[in-house]
Amino acid sequence: MIIQKANKDNLVEILNIYKEAREYMAFNGNKEQWGNNYPPRELIEKDIADGKCYVAIDEKICGVFYFAIEVDPMYNIIEEGEWLNDNQYAVVHRIAVSKNTHNKGIAGKCLDYALEICKNNKIKDLRMDTHKSNLPMQRFLEKKGFLKCGIVFVEDGSERLAYHKII
């Protein structure tokens, strides 16, 4: 498997994976997190242009995620808890895999790739968030060593469970 930065030629496949992810989440009791059209095409195009969208390729694209070493403004305020520290951190957002690759470790490999980039850049902290209804993602994050730290709010004002891992 290869993980690399996405390019504009990957857009159709990326959009399809996100569509499948929305359907999977809705089927599993989490239709609120991404609704019917998140992430929108324009956001994905911006992520690609900014070099922050990554794809996992195993013959074809089977996973996609956002990764950046940056301060996420949504993480500036955390309620009902606190971050593990105030160190510089990286973020992973919008991780999704194709429906044909569920339970095959693709998301784990994507996250491992992000952790490796962190290590190579001497970043010792990784933060993520998920919807309270996204039980599969919560289990995944906890399995990967993330700790639930509190609640953050995304742009539309809805709550997300905040997770933090010290690398």
What domains are there in the chain, each with its CATH number? 2-166 (3.40.630.30)
What pLDDT does residue 30 have? 84
What pLDDT does residue 16 have? 97
For residue 76, the 8-state DSSP code is: S
Residues 146, 158 contacting (CB under 8 angstroms): no
Q: Structure pTM?
A: 0.94
Q: How far is the C-alpha of 110 from the C-alpha of 105, rounded, in Å?
A: 9
107-161 pLDDT, tens digit each: 999 999 999 999 999 999 999 999 999 999 999 999 999 999 999 999 889 999 9
What pLDDT does residue 7 have? 98
21-50 pLDDT, tens digit each: 999 889 888 888 888 889 999 999 999 999
